[in-house]
Amino acid sequence: MSLLKAFDLVIEEPRSYDELEADFLDVLEESRDDPDKDTVVALLGLYATYSCKYLVDVATTLREPPEVSQSMKFMNSYVAEVVHKAGLHYYDRERSKSVVDLAMQKALDNGGFVSRKAMFDLIEEVEDSYVEFEEHLIPEEYEDASIN
């Protein structure tokens, strides 16, 4: 979280918290039974936009918008569950940050918005942070052995 970055951030065509929450819930409703990477990308993008709006509001008024922080906690929990259900990782092993934190940082660095491509790239980076680690979990002499 960077209040200094948020203080100078000007979000073009800002959306209301209510609009972002409604879109977030729509994505959940449409895909909660079988979420995939597209679902995660959509939720991360909405959460990042919501978070940036929140940070700009806090940075420029020194006050929290009522109930927004609470909504962010629940949104974060939903993202964590959906990421897990989609078979993806929530934490970047190398950077020790969650996908939510990384998405928000990308949005802060990009004027309060993140593209779908940026979110897909972020997910790939997080997944790649586990590849080398998981390869070392299996000793070399067992790599080619079949499990019966």
Alpha-carbon distance of 68 to 147, in angstroms, equals: 50
Q: What is the pTM of this model?
A: 0.86
pLDDT in tens, the chain (148 residues): 588 889 888 888 889 999 999 999 999 999 989 999 999 999 999 999 999 999 999 999 999 999 999 999 999 999 999 999 999 999 999 999 999 999 999 999 998 989 999 999 999 999 999 886 666 665 555 555 554 4
The domain limits of the chain are 3-136
**pLDDT value at residue 142:** 53
